[in-house]
């Protein structure tokens, strides 16, 4: 079994992360790398998911970012990359190594990422269709996932004073909702507002990876 060491792939000076600074999933990876002290070893290279000529599509056939090239591999998606970085840092720092805690953490990650997925589909509906083509039924379907997800999350929040993979996913998803505003969440989920304020005060990597204005 070969060791993980974040080695650059041939032709590169450092490991390369394909992501824009606006992707909530890319932000998860950027935050995880900062928290684990690995960010200096990763070069961030933007990608344009709409450009058929962008080699992101060779790196990830799904044409999605983030995508990390290191240790002779190309890794996606954000959950895999966060798990890789955690393993590289010795394991168990962002994702508990085992037991119920591990699967509780991973389920919270799946919920927060799933809310981001539904929010992104709402944003894409506006980006890929003109007003006459937009489906109110589809938007409502996705919005239901966002609102039910936020309610479930509010009832089972991770500790805001501990940075784990779940807290990173929740913070990046809420940051994305604040940026793109597919739903106005702040009035209806006040415990999430308090959670984000507290997490941002505890974890400097949240501000350091803020979506640029």
Ligand X SMILES: N[C@@H](CCC(=O)N[C@@H](CS)C(=O)NCC(=O)O)C(=O)O
DSSP class per residue in 115-184? HHHHHHHHHHHHHHS-GGG--HHHHHHHHHHHHHHHHHHHHSPPPTTS--HHHHHHHHHHHHHHHH-SS-
In the sheet where 42-45 sits, what is the strand order?
42-45, 15-18, 67-70, 73-75
Phi-psi region of 57 (alpha: psi -120 to 50; beta: other; left: phi over 0): alpha
Nearest-5° angle of CA 160, CA 181, CA 111?
45
CB atoms within 10 A of CB 144: 11
Q: Which of 16, 18, 23, 30 lies at the binding interface for ligand X (CB under 6 A)?
A: 23
Instruction: Return the DSSP state at 203.
Output: -
Q: Which of 36, 66, 71, 157 lies at the binding interface for ligand X (CB under 6 A)?
A: 66
Q: Which stretch binds ligand X (CB under 6 A): 62-70, 127-135, 160-168, 188-196?
A: 62-70
User: With respect to ligand X, which residue has the nearer C-beta, 172 or 205?
Assistant: 172
User: With respect to ligand X, which residue has the nearer C-beta, 66 or 96?
Assistant: 66
**71 touching ligand X, by CB under 6 A:** no
d(CA 35, CA 119): 26
Q: Which of 33, 35, 44, 65 lies at the binding interface for ligand X (CB under 6 A)?
A: 65
Q: Which stretch binds ligand X (CB under 6 A): 22-30, 177-185, 187-195, 204-212?
A: 22-30
Within residues 79-118, the interface with ligand X by CB under 6 A covers 79, 113
Q: Name the minimum Å distance from CB 187 to ligand X.
A: 25
Q: Which of 64, 71, 75, 94 lies at the binding interface for ligand X (CB under 6 A)?
A: 64
**59 touching ligand X, by CB under 6 A:** no
User: With respect to ligand X, which residue has the nearer C-beta, 64 or 108?
Assistant: 64
Both structure tokens of 40: 């200096």
Longest CA pairwise span in the chain (Å): 55
Q: Name the minimum Å distance from CB 14 to ligand X.
A: 21
Instruction: Return the DSSP state at 23.
Output: -
Q: Which of 39, 71, 77, 83 lies at the binding interface for ligand X (CB under 6 A)?
A: 77
Give the residues lining the site for ligand X (CB under 6 A): 23-25, 49, 63-66, 76-79, 113, 120
């Amino acid at each position: 079994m070969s060791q993980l060491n974040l080695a650059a792939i041939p032709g590169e000076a450092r490991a390369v992360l394909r992501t824009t600074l606006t992707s909530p999933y890319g932000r998860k990876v950027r935050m995880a790398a900062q928290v684990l002290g690995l960010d200096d070893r990763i070069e961030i290279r933007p990608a344009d998911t709409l450009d058929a000529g962008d080699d992101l599509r060779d790196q990830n056939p799904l044409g999605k970012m983030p995508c990390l090239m290191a240790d002779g591999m190309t890794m996606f998606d954000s959950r895999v990359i966060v798990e890789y970085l955690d393993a590289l840092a010795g394991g168990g720092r962002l994702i508990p190594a085992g037991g119920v805690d591990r699967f509780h953490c991973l389920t919270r990650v799946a919920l927060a990422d799933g809310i981001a997925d539904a929010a992104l589909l709402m944003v894409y509906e506006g980006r890929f269709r003109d007003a006459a083509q937009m489906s109110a039924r589809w938007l409502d379907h996705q919005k239901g996932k966002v609102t039910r997800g936020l309610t479930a999350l509010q009832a089972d929040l991770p500790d805001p004073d501990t940075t784990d993979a779940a807290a990173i996913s929740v913070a990046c998803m809420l940051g994305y909702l604040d940026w793109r505003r597919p739903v106005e969440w702040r009035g209806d989920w006040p415990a999430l507002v308090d959670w984000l304020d507290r997490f941002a005060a505890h974890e400097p990597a949240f501000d350091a990876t803020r979506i640029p204005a």
